[in-house]
Structure 1
């Protein structure tokens, strides 16, 4: 017979066993540390910022993430998954789940969609507002935090959404994200990387975007149409993301107009413009002076539309004006010569 002798706990002993979640303390307290775990994340179906906002960090295996607050582990992410709902369904006891006031807008894309009618008189960018966790109520410039439910309005020209949210609602979990901001506003001397900064190469290099479509298999829309409208292929079914606004679209069907879908869903994107559509540009040349040798087809193909005044044409992409046409001027070459930094110029360079 074997006996086990349990040592009595010595009086005054001060060691306490570590709680299983204690090891996740740094990841709970440091948003930037959580975000840093997603450097090797490869599942394009889910926005890593949304995962991080919901308390998750990347475990480095497949697409497996763990909540630093409740310890719950989730994986197998698919297009259209609502992170917060999945979190709540599986780990309803989590403090992050219980704190969220507006579940639907826990997803970045859903917040961004609310800004289609954002007043142009406000200087705040819808992308920055959505990134700060805010969605638009649709009236009077009123924005609401999906997490704490706080309302922000009466925006001034120099207000920065992330900072205003932090200032007005300091106890909101989103306000406690470890994001360094401009020195003259908050006492820090580093500037956080904008969520769209990682897409800068895609914005600046047309060919790079076009190359992502090598394995595109949906015949309903052409890679060129998508690329011209700012999209690159994310490599998953027919999912594309705009490198200019971050909007994600998929499920392309016969007859879909790429630009129209872009405008309807992400009207705040600077790539969305009536004249981004070739037919619309061509139609603008109905009253083009007949004494000019430049063909409306060549002008529209170069990204130009007619303003209706003299011989002034404007680029839908860079807003640059081209006028005083000479007999031997070639529209695409003139556009490239005058506006070499325009993304359309890179296509002909």
Structure 2
């Protein structure tokens, strides 16, 4: 019995000590915490920023032909391009023809710019053909080549035209090149190498300073295409493929000729690709270089193909 009493007292003392320790810990913890009311009194209420305003993103209003990126006129629309010529100074150049050729007026002297490829042309003279000059200076332009590029001709219902995709705009560096309609291609240094290599680059490729087209009357795709009216129907190569590759029909057999370099090809095989054969046999043709690029020419030269006969 004595042993049991001693044990009970010891347990009671241990419990009492544990309670005192716990109470002390709680007290110390509470001393470190401000009451909720004190916290609430010390807080400064948050106010909405006076700089913030509610807004909503509106779709592009195609009826106004406005680009949603920079709020500029949407020059995909021929009507918007035509409207840009309000203060056009060169009365001998028809704004309707310029707009139809993909150009809008920049507001600087007589400088115009293509909505698609960005090429800029100025110093027009009476008798210049906007579309021909566009094709001459930027044959790879999707608009010139009649490829889908978003062009909206006059007369198309704007409400049926999808809004342009939002694109980031690189404001660092030049966009487009400047050309005079009556000048010759000079491939000046600093322009885009893919289409207009520098003289140093041309030298490394074994190319001299370029000359103009051998047959400028066929510089346009439509002019070349028109020559294939009597193209043999048995040929695998279509007139569209050949015209796109720079060829016009000579009217003899299956003979074709490049409007720019003057190179001719005939005796086409069924599997012959016009672009590949053009690049293979006339590696220094500037039309091929401008449209397809040097990498394409290099890849073609590495292929084993049975070529048509070179004229």
TM-score by length of 2: 0.35
Greater CA radius of gyration, 1 or 2? 2
